[in-house]
Every structure is written in structure tokens, then in C-alpha cells.
A and B are shown apart, each in its own frame.
Chain A
Amino acid sequence: MGREVSESCVDNLLIEMVSSYCDRFYANKPELAARRIEAIGYQVGHQLSERYTMERPRFSDHLEAIKFICKDFWSEIFKKQIDNLKTNHRGTFVLQDNQFRWLMHMSIDPSSDGSGLSHDASGALVDNKAAQAASMRLYFPCGIIRGALTNLGIPCAVSADISNLPACSFVVRIKV
């Protein structure tokens, strides 16, 4: 039984989810919208981790679990592994995906914004807006990572960094 999903469907779903929460349900409260999107990701990650760890022995430490996220878990979702994993050995891990699939089709071009703002004044604003939209979308994968790790017994906080698109880094801070 194949477990394949059309990529564009996933993209559309993501776009729809972000816009629903940001522009409709919590139009003026971005932090609440972010919280909701993250919570959805959390549940998805929670459930996926249950499935993807089914046939494997238990992890003996945190690093093993993180490696699992980087390799098998990421492969299951994105058909590729995390490109780079860094850690300070004190509970912080940075997972970098050089071609993060869920941002690849996102336009960062200001002209596509179509909001009719005058060019000279709004350049920075549009850039800012695009980055904001991208970061909204990233609450979902952050939630997925947090959900998966939490379910594996590693409570943590996850944030994303998109300073050099389309690469995306997820920073995992394990709570002690």
C-alpha cells in the first residue's frame, strides 16, 4: 500500500491552514494563530512518531532520538534527510534542511504580493511580510518536531530560522 500524497495538495493544505488561522480565526492575534498552528503540528508529529518508531528498538538517549528525527522521520515526510545536525552537547540541537520542501514553492518576491503599496516605501515592509508569512508556515513543522520528540519522551522547544532561504534550520532546545 503506497503512502504517497500529492505535494501540491500538501502545499495547498498548508497555505489554507495558515491563512485560515492568521486571516480569519485570529486575524489580529498572530501569536494565538501561531499557537494553534503549532498545536496542530504537535498532534501530527505525535501521531507520526508513534507510527514511524513501530518496528525499532527503544532509543537509549536523546541523540539517538534526534538522529531518528533527522533520518528516518524526515525521510518519511520529506523523502530526504536533514542535511546537517549540530549540537552543543548541552541539550541544543540545530537541524538544517538545505532545501526545505515546504518553503520551496513559496514566493518571496514582493511583486506577487499585489497589495498595491507604492514601491519605494514598502520594500522593506513587503519583505517583512513575506518573512512573516514564511515563519507562520514554519510553526507547523516546528510543532511536528516538538510533537514527535515529546512523544519520544524528550520535552523540548522548537524554533525555526530562515535567515538564508530556502535552507531552513530548526533549533531544538531540550527542557531539563
Chain B
Amino acid sequence: MEEYPEELRTPPVGLISLVGCPELHQMISTHLHSEKPPVNTLALPDFSKISIMAKTPKDTGASGNTQPAGILKRDWLLKHRTKMPAVATALIPADHVSGDPAQWNQLCTHLDQLKAVISPRNIKLVVVVVQASSRDDFNEDRMIALRKRAEVDFKYIITFSLNVESDLKQSLNRLGILFAELINVYYRDEGHRIKTCIEKKTYNYVELCIRYCFKVAVYAEFRRDWVEALKFYEDSYHALREMIATSTRLPARQRLVEIKTLAEQLHFKISTLLLHGGKIIEAVLWFRQHCASYRKLIGAAEVNFLHWEWMSRQFLVFAELLETSSRTVPGFPSLISLAMDKSLTEWEFQPAYYYQLASHYLKEKRSCLDLSLSMLEASYEIDGSAESVMPSIYVGQFARLLEKSDGVISMQLLTDEEFIHYAVAEGKRFQDSFEIIALLKKAFDIYSSLKATRMASHCGFHMAKEYFYTGETSKAKESFESVVHLYRHEGWVTLLWEILGYLRECSRRDGSLKEFMEYSLEMAALPVSSNAGIHSFSHREFGPAGPPSFHQREVIHKEALGLVSRGPGFTSNGDGNNLHLAESSLHLEIDLVSPLRVALLASVAFHEQLVKPGIPTLITVSLMSQLPVAVEIDALEVQFNQSECNFTILNAQKSPSIATSVNQQGYCREEIVPSLALITNKWLRLTYDVKSDRSGKLECVSIIARIGSHFTICCRAESPASMGDVPLWKFEEHGESLPIKDPPLSLSGQKAIQVEEPDLLVDVNLAASGPALVGENFVVPVTIVSKGHAVDFGELKINLVDSRGGGLVSPREYESFSTESHHVELIGISEPDGDDKSQVGSGNIRKIQHSFGLVSVPYLDNGGSWSCRIEIKWHRPKPIMLFVSLGYSPCSDDANAQKIHVHKSLQIEGKTPIIVSHRTMLPFRCDPLLLSRIKLAAADSDRPAPLPLNEASILIVSAENCSEVPLRLISMSIEHDDASESSCTVCSANDDLVDSVGPALLMPGKEYRKVFSAVPIERSQKVKMGTVCLRWKRDSESHEQSYSSSPEILTRHRLPETDVELSPLVVCLECPPCAVLGDPFTYFVKIRNETELLQEIKFSLIDSYSFVSSGPHDDTTFVLPKSEHILSYKLVPLASGMQQLPRVVATAVRYSAGFEPSTSALTIFVFPSKPAFEMGKSENGSESVFLAAE
């Protein structure tokens, strides 16, 4: 499209001319250009330039009666767009109008001149009087005179005022409207004038009809009357089409060229108009018709390339038009569905289709041009006469420039022969290949974006071919490779063959032997045979590989294998063959997706699924090839993931030199077979036994076939059970056989086998009893017993793992690194002799960490045993997994032999053995007033009660056995956390009762209690009472020796801190521990005031039926600061047994707190008569011990 002149490519725009006042031209033309529709301006600075618009004298000569020399002048359109204004505008300064007579006369002369120039062309005249300032006054008479002089209607004389901005704008607008109207009128009139010529048929030649129609259409386009433009372009086109058979004006060849050139122009105009009008379907149909009517007009053989070039251009231009309009026209795809019933197809709406065909015709052109060139060059040399040929004044014609002796240049029409010369010489100048590639690239891109992969691949293939023939091997290869997979995938063997042929040639040019071999082998193994429907393939069509046939496959096969069998250092000779085998050998890899699977396929199946180590099992290696000629393999290497199983199969027919060369690489098992010939489509089955000593998976990885001394193919092993079909061949009707003779095996065979663990010949026993207790060193005895063979280099690994998955170290305490930070800890491993002390010194222990240990095991003979004890300490109750693994060599003489591992594991629960709890009680029959306790009673009862300062409180510590084994308590004591500042004195109430008797046996679930008295001596919010230290041990059933051997365990339990508070008042009840019926005794209620204040106390005595009492009943008394008030009562018991003393209720008025002794404090035992035992010691019992009844 770019090669078309601008005036053809764009729609015409109306033209006016401005004369005079050049300073205003810029402004006016800018304004007009921005109008809608825009108007172009031909600006002539002064009246002397107006002759440019003048009619040339030749024009007058053209009439309907003489034979026109051509159909359409080349410059006609350009002339009308740039030189022939519709309106001529005279810009006259106002002062000239109203100025002196000389100026007026000058003005009149100019107007006359202008009128003379424009009237033959019917150009409209507008006179603009430019008012530079408002002071310019208008002379009405002069204006009328001006109008008369200009012979125009009054409305075509306008004033143009420059002084005010708004006026200026208004003037410009007025001018614009006026011009638009006049342009319309002008082009309508012109069109009308020519239309009447057509209607009256005033012409005798069809050329004129074409020309007239074209002109009418152009004039209509000026007016933006697209419908009329289209109609007349079409008329013109049809008239032109009819001319082909009738015209005799020019020599035949040039005549056709002229007609086609014009048809191209007309077609372009029509297509543009249709597409811009959104009529895509019509445009496509029109294009189809256009091509159909000109396709066959190939013309003379010598210049037929011009026809193909022309055709190619039609497609290219239409493609470009379609591409631009498909971007601009909305709803483009929906149009396609409308078109389906008009027998239009999808691709015809796609520019790619036209680009592709354009490239096709361009190729046609190139081949015709080559033919023409060779014909011409054969007859005579092309001389330089073509240089003086140039396009003539008519569209589509060429003429020779003749320079006569007098310097006058004239044009001479060419003879057909000259024209051919010229055309061929022109054609030679262009490189069509690049153009073709560019076109195909565009088509490729568009098709790819449409996901039309096959179309795109087709374009890509042609592109690659073009690259190939222009010698750009690398680009060609890239393009070929990008499309080849589609043909492989869809199994279009003939097309694949063709591409592979090119690729093979590319790699030959590149000198890449590896690729050459790959492509050669793939081609040789393609399923093509000479019969099936492809007998009509010609040799020419198929590029370098020739037509696909069995014979050709054989040729390729032999060439390829011939190359590699010749050994290193050779360079193949002749025909640009720069393939050579490098010093090292050539190695090909065939994996599961390689296209070369057709060339070599390896299926490997074990006959069993499970095997014991060291027991041989059968494996079948099956190979198949579709190569057309039988291949003799020199050696096959079968490779496993356990490399010690690898073995090599040697061909006995080959020289033993190969065998030795293989053997040099080290020890390798070798098998020799009489022949290793791979026959087309026949499985080569080889069965051998394989033995693995290592447990786990044994998998055959690959088979390496060695052909000749320097060529190997490594083929990935495939399981028959999961083997995919061989690509391409799966569509062929050919005999298929199973890789293994046994059908079930070939359906389910696997290339991998599971080698079981060897039978255990060494026992590892973990003898653990019951749950472990927190704090103790739990002992797990380990016994290793050899039952089959000796144990050497034995090594025992011990590992503790939290069986709940968490770590054995609590993260919070992780930093401290103390032993306490590990919940469970491996303490040590001791030898069976129980010599604990020798642990560290012994070389046996290599490593012990908190949760990991390693110990070496001494040499054990067959039948020998060894044991050790693992000590584990729990700091927190936590279940753990104990993993013990023994690794050893079965025989002592070979240290590198395969180690055998025996694993054992045991889950051990860690339990808390003893739960220590405590509680505090206030002293018996002594009731200190604790203010916080009063408040507390309401608030929350959970908080431990504060202890009274300086008063002895009772602390009861109990230890409950919550394990499942009986424990023996050795001692229980309370230690101060820091002895230096004892804020609270705690001492045992009774002197080591337990220790004197020996360790107390604590059965599971039972509780042991001990009473302490605690006297806080420092008033503080937080008083530490100390830590309970509990010594205990397991109570073993087998008494003395184990009893003594199991060490004591110390469990520490820190008592919580308690509040200590000074009590302002203390009320104590004092009475004897027991009474005798009828025997009077004294009962004191002592109220001690600990404050510096006078305390008012109200009290009352509630009588009891069991006693007769004397003393104060209800009263109020005052207790002096730091002194004691004693209420004393005399009581006589009236009943024996447990009796309630009379209750004394005292109320401290200051604190409004009442004292009410508990029922137990008021209980006293009354003997019926005086007992006969000594009771002296229990005199002070009220303030010492109270043991709970249970």
C-alpha cells in the first residue's frame, strides 16, 4: 500500500486558494484545515502567482472525438488535489479599497487577472476585504464598485476584521462556512458536467468513459458523497474490464499492463470505500471477484512475472486494508457469522490469509522471473536501453525519453520488445525472498494469535524454506524446528519427512554431526513405505530429502551409520559436506519423549516384583528399532541405579578388541551372545539374571548400545507396563509383537524391583520395665545377641525423640543450657559390669548428647552377646521414643563391606512419681484477726490466706504417690531457699519420725503427710517458706541388694510464697485438753492487743447445756495497747464425751470484725471419771499439734 502515491491512498480534500495578504495565509489555512471536513489551502502570496491555476492550452484540445493516448493521466488526481482549487479567494486590504485611485486601479487589475484565470475552470471567486483596524471606514460606493468589478454576488464579498479577537473568530468561521458551501457547489458542478458527458455518450472511446467515471467518482469523493463515488468507481472498473478484449491502442503487452494498473487503482479505491463504510463482507466479495476476473489474464510468457507480481500486490494491499479496518471497525468477528451463508469462510476475513497468498504469488512471480531472465540472457545481453525508460504521463504506461539534438525532451512509446526488456531489468533489481519472508512472517503471527497452529506452521515452514534457499541456515533451522513438533505430534509423516529432510540438510551445512545423526535416524525410522497413496510424489517437491519411500529411508540409514562407523578424524568429502566426527565419540540420548524412540526403544522388565538380597532374579531387556536395515550392535551396556549390578552384553561376532576396551574401565560383568542384530520391527529379547546385595529399589536406568567403536546410543529404559505407543508407528497397520514373550509380564512388567531387607541375624533387645519416673535415672538394658554371624565394627546409635513430635527442650528454657532445660535427657550408657565410674574414661563411649548417644560395640563372635544399660532421666513427664540402631559389618576381614543396620525402638512414658501439696492452718484455739482475710472472704476464696506475723502457723506438706509402683520415702524436709535471710522459720513439728522408723513405704495412690510449724518473722507481701526436699526411691520387690543399689532420688518442690500480715488482735482460747465429769476447770479467753491503740471489744458468752459456767456474759471491754485482756470462766462439765464448750463471740468494734471460734476449737473431751494415766505433757497441747483425723 505504501507504494501507492499519497493522493490515491487518502481520501481527497477540498482545495481553495488564497491570493494576496500573505501574512494572513497561515492563520486562515490552519483554521480551514481543522474544519470538519478539512479544507486544504493553496496559498499564493501575490497575484503574479495565479497562473498556476491557469488551464493549459492542451486541455482544450481533448475532446471526445480523438483517440486518447491513455486512459488516465498520472498527475490528474494530484493536480486536482494540489493545484486546482475549488475557490479562489482574493484577499484585499481595506485601505486599498478605500485608498487612493492608484491603489484602486491596481486592485481592479488584479481582480481582472484572477477572473481571467479562474473562469475557464469555473473556479468560484470570493473577495475578502481585510480590515486591519476598526478605524478603517467603509466606503459603500467602493464596495459596490468592488462587487461589480469582481462580478460576484454580494455575499461572496466579506469583510474580515482583525482588530478584535471575537471578530476575528467570527470572520474565520464565516469564511469556513462560505468555503464549504462553495467547495460543495464547485465539485458538484464539475461532477455534473462530466456526468452529462457520460449520459449523452459524447465520447467514442471507452477510455474516455473510464476516465469520466473516475473523475465523477473523485469529485464525489471531494464532496464526501461515498455512495456516488463508489458507484462511479465501479462503473469505471467495469468499463475497464470490458476494454480488455476490445482495445487495440497500445501494443498488446503494455495494454494489459495499463489496464491492470488502472484496475488496481480502481479496486483499491473501491475496497477502501467499502471497508471504511464497514461493509467488510462486500469488500471481501468484491476482492474475490476482482481476483477471479484478472487471475487468468496472465499475459505473454516473457512478462508473466508481472502478472504474478500484480496478483501478489492485490493480496498484500487487501491484507493491509483489512488489517487496518479490522482494528477500527467494531464488532468485526460478529460480521463473520453473518457471512457464513454467503459461502465465505473464516480465513477470508483474516489478513493472514491474504498475506499468505500474497507470498504465494510472489513466489510464483520469482520463478517466472527466473525463467524470463534465463530465456532473455540466453538470447542476448540486456543492454542499458532500459535506463532511459520511465513512466509516461498516463497511468500504467511507460515511455522512452528521447533527448533530441536541440535539447528538447520528448517521450516515445515503447515497443513490446523494449517493454519486456525494461520490465525484466526492473524485476531483476528486487530481492523477492525478503519480501516473501516478511509476508509469511505477518501471516504466521496473525495465525498464531488466532491459534490456528497448522496454518501458522505452514507459513513457518515456507518461511524456513525461504531462509534455507537464501542460505540463512541458522534462521532456517530455527524456523523448521519451531514447526516440526506439530507434524510429529499429529503424525503427518510425509510433511514431517519433508521438514526433517530440510533439517538434516541444515545440520549437514552446519557440520553438526550429532544433529545430522538424530535427524537421519528419525527419518530412517519414519513409517513411510512406497505404496500407500503417495506414488504421485515428485522428486522436485520434496526438497533435499527426496520423496518419502522405503528406498530413501534405506539410503539415509546407510549414509548415517556409514558416517559414524568410519571412526574419528575423517572428513566426509564433496558436496559441501562438512560433517566430521570429533576426536571423542558420538553419543546420542533417547529419553521417553524423544522422537528417536522410533529408532531405538528399550523395554526392561524384571520377572519378579520382590527379591531377597543376594538372590539372583531374571531380567529381560528387549530392544526394538524401526530402522529399515538391520543394525548390528557391538555391545549393550545395561545400567542400574545400583551400579554394581551393571553388566555388558557383547556381540561375539565383533572383534574382541571392543571387549577389552570396555573392560578397561574396571571390573564389569560381561555376557557374550552370538549375535546382537536389531531387525526392523522385531524385538531383540535378552534375558539375564541380576543379583543385588543392597536392599531398596533396584531399577534399570538405561541401555547403552555401542555401534562401531565411536558411536553410542543411550536409551532410557522403559517398563513394559507403562510403555507408551511408539509415536507415528502407532497409526500404522503393522505387525506388533510383545516385548516379552510372556504376555502377562509384557502387560505388567516393571523396570524396577524391590530388594528386601536381609534377614536379621543379630537381635537387639530393649528390656524396659514400666513407665519411667521423673527424676530417677531410668535404666534401659540393651542386649545384642549375634545369631548368624559375627558383629564387627559395631556401633550403637541411641536417639531420643519426643513421641508427640515436640522437642525435648522447652523453648523458654533453651538459653539456660542447664540440665534442667531438657525435659528428657540421656544420662549415660554403662557397661554391663556396672562400673559406672569408668564411663567417661572408657574409649567405648564416643559421644553423648542430651538426646543422642553413640557407643561402639566390641567384636562379637557368632553366638556372642553384649549388653549395656542406657540411663535416661526425665525432668518433665513426657513420653519419648527411644531409637536404638546397631550398625555393623557382618565379617571382620573387610571393613568396607556393606554395613548392616538393625533398628529397634521403644516408647517410654515418663511419669511424675510424687505430687507434693501443702496447706497452712492457723494455730489451734488461737485466732488472730487478719484484716485482709475479712475482705478476702467476700472477694475470692482461692487465694491462699495470709499468715499472721510472729504467730506460729501450721504447715502441712503431703506427698502422694501417683505412680504405679510402690515408693519408699526416705526423708522429707523443708529447706530455705537462701539461708542468709530467713523471713520465716520453719521447723519440723516432730523429730524425724520417718527416719527413725526407716523409709516409709508409700503404696500407689497413698499419701504421706508431715506437719511443720511456720513462724513468719518478717512482715512482707511475699514470704518464701522454702523448698520441700523429698528423698525417695523405688521399692523393689527383690529386697536388699537392689534396694541398696537403686539410688535415692531427691524431688524438690518449692512452696509458694505467701502473704504475711500483722494481726491487730489475737484471741486465744485456753482450756485443758480434757476434762473430767463434775470436775471444775478454768476456761480463759485471752484477747491480746498488738496495736498501739485502745481497742474496744464487745463479747458475749453463749451457754452450753453440757457445762455450768461462771464468768462475764455480755459486756464491752477496752484492751490497752500492747496488753492482754483475759476473760476467765469456771466451767463444770455436766456430761461426758465430746462436748461443746460455751461459745464466746467477741467483736472488735474498731474493725467491726467478730471472732467466732470454730466448732472443733470448742470441742473438748470429758472423761466420765478421772483417767488413770499421766497427762502432764499435754498441758501445752493447745498450741502445738493438730493432726487431722484421717
A and B touch in the complex (CB under 8 A): yes
Number of residues of chain A lying within 8 A (CB) of chain B: 3
Q: How large is the interface on B (under 10, 10 to 19, 20 to 34, 35 or more residues)?
A: under 10
Q: Flag A26-52 by CB within 8 Å of B: 1 or 0 each.
A: 000100100100000000000000000
Pairs A–B under 8 Å by Cβ, sample size 5: A29-B744, A32-B743, A32-B744, A32-B747, A35-B747
Please give the distance in Å from B1067's CB to the nearest CB on chain A.
85
Within 8 A of A (CB), among B740-772: 743-744, 747
Binding site for B on A (CB under 8 A): 29, 32, 35
How far is B978's CA from A164's CA once the two chains are assembled, in angstroms? 88
How far is B743's CA from A35's CA once the two chains are assembled, in angstroms? 12
Binding site for A on B (CB under 8 A): 743-744, 747
> Which residues of B sit under 8 angstroms from A29, Cβ to Cβ?
744
How far is B746's CA from A32's CA once the two chains are assembled, in angstroms? 12
Please give the distance in Å from A163's CB to the nearest CB on chain B.
30
Please give the distance in Å from B736's CB to the nearest CB on chain A.
14
Please give the distance in Å from B1178's CB to the nearest CB on chain A.
89
> Which residues of A sit under 8 angstroms from B747, Cβ to Cβ?
32, 35
How far is B747's CA from A11's CA once the two chains are assembled, in angstroms? 30
How far is B221's CA from A51's CA once the two chains are assembled, in angstroms? 61
Interface residues of B: mostly helix, strand, loop or mixed?
helix
Interface residues of A: mostly helix, strand, loop or mixed?
helix
> Which residues of A sit under 8 angstroms from B744, Cβ to Cβ?
29, 32
> Which residues of B sit under 8 angstroms from A35, Cβ to Cβ?
747
Task: For the complex of A and B, list the 5 residue pairs with the smallest distance between their C-beta atoms, beginning with the closest.
Answer: A32-B744, A29-B744, A32-B743, A32-B747, A35-B747
How far is B747's CA from A32's CA once the two chains are assembled, in angstroms? 9
How far is B744's CA from A35's CA once the two chains are assembled, in angstroms? 11
Please give the distance in Å from B699's CB to the nearest CB on chain A.
25
How far is B747's CA from A35's CA once the two chains are assembled, in angstroms? 11
Chain B residue with minimal CB distance to A36?
A: B743
Please give the distance in Å from A32's CB to the nearest CB on chain B.
6
How far is B743's CA from A118's CA once the two chains are assembled, in angstroms? 37
How far is B744's CA from A29's CA once the two chains are assembled, in angstroms? 9
How far is B746's CA from A35's CA once the two chains are assembled, in angstroms? 14
Please give the distance in Å from A69's CB to the nearest CB on chain B.
27
Chain B residue with minimal CB distance to A29?
A: B744
Please give the distance in Å from A150's CB to the nearest CB on chain B.
16
How far is B742's CA from A29's CA once the two chains are assembled, in angstroms? 12
Chain B residue with minimal CB distance to A32?
A: B744
Please give the distance in Å from B513's CB to the nearest CB on chain A.
43
> Which residues of B sit under 8 angstroms from A32, Cβ to Cβ?
743-744, 747
How far is B744's CA from A94's CA once the two chains are assembled, in angstroms? 31
Please give the distance in Å from A119's CB to the nearest CB on chain B.
36
Please give the distance in Å from A17's CB to the nearest CB on chain B.
17
> Which residues of A sit under 8 angstroms from B743, Cβ to Cβ?
32
How far is B747's CA from A42's CA once the two chains are assembled, in angstroms? 18
How far is B747's CA from A29's CA once the two chains are assembled, in angstroms? 13
Please give the distance in Å from A88's CB to the nearest CB on chain B.
31
How far is B743's CA from A29's CA once the two chains are assembled, in angstroms? 11
Please give the distance in Å from B720's CB to the nearest CB on chain A.
14
How far is B743's CA from A32's CA once the two chains are assembled, in angstroms? 9
Please give the distance in Å from B746's CB to the nearest CB on chain A.
11
Chain A residue with minimal CB distance to B743?
A: A32
Please give the distance in Å from A62's CB to the nearest CB on chain B.
25
How far is B748's CA from A29's CA once the two chains are assembled, in angstroms? 13
Please give the distance in Å from A19's CB to the nearest CB on chain B.
19
Chain B residue with minimal CB distance to A25?
A: B743
Please give the distance in Å from B684's CB to the nearest CB on chain A.
25
How far is B352's CA from A144's CA once the two chains are assembled, in angstroms? 45
How far is B744's CA from A40's CA once the two chains are assembled, in angstroms? 17
How far is B748's CA from A35's CA once the two chains are assembled, in angstroms? 13
Please give the distance in Å from B742's CB to the nearest CB on chain A.
11
How far is B743's CA from A33's CA once the two chains are assembled, in angstroms? 11
